[in-house]
Homo-oligomer: A and B are copies of this chain.
Amino acid sequence: MRLELSVDRSSPVPLYFQLSQQLEAAIEHGTLTPGSLLGNEIELAARLGLSRPTVRQAIQSLVDKGLLVRRRGVGTQVVHSQVKRPLELSSLFDDLEAAGQRPATRVLVNAVVPATAEVAAALAVPEGSEVHRVERLRLAHGEPMAYLCNHLPPGLLDLDTAQLEATGLYRMMRSAGLTLHSARQSIGARAATAAEAERLTEPEGAPLLTMRRTTFDDTGRAVEFGDHIYRPSRYAFEFQLLVRP
């Protein structure tokens, strides 16, 4: 079977990216079946009128995504398994919306408060200095799903309550021009306190899933510190890991 590939040299989209998108679409689509060989790079380059490094760049990006495997002396193959998207730095809001759950948010607190020692350490600001504190209850289908407490350094973002209820914090940060770069996460579990239980309509002592996260922008500044609790009957963390070679 002959894969239809072509590139548009008048497009501003990089050639390697055009190629990788077409290959990815073919894999997603089933046109390139798992285990099938891609054909060697030189022949592929000649067919498309590209240089070999450009073709390699396209292929490499898909290898990095875990969709292709390269073997010296053998060739490039489509991975056999059902590879899903790897773990993204996504917000609960986006996760829910993608799952068609129509998320709702109730903002419980939106204030400027002095930083506690813990918050100060996470955000690398002086203890007692002013930070934003946002507490939100996230609901899906009218049922409480998670309680989210976030702290942000001052001056980064205009934390409008109406906007917080209409979208996710990450989306607001991105549209404010922040480039999110990395995050340090810790996921655990513990029993619900009386106050938490009431907020999440769970019995006291019920198991809860907890997540703490500090997010950094591309300059390495801490831009957000979150302390979240989830109802484990309603939410779990799912993700794909790739082994770094």
Contact = CB atoms under 8 A, between A and B. Distances in A.
Contacts of A35: 219-220
B69 A243 contact: no
Contacts of A181: 66, 69, 79, 242-243
Contacts of A235: 188
Contacts of A207: 189-191, 206-208
A172 interface: no
Contacts of A222: 81
Interface string A194-207: 00000000000111
Interface residues of A, number: 50
Contacts of A186: 236-238
Nearest to A229: B189
Given A87-B241, A183-B241, A242-B181, A232 B80 contact: no
Contact of A208 (B64, B189, B242): B189
Given A89-B243, A182-B81, A182-B241, A69 B219 contact: yes
Interface of A: 34-35, 53, 64, 66, 69, 77, 79-81, 83-84, 86-89, 180-191, 205-209, 216, 218-222, 232, 235-244
Closest 5 CB pairs of A and B: A80-B220, A207-B207, A188-B236, A81-B220, A189-B189
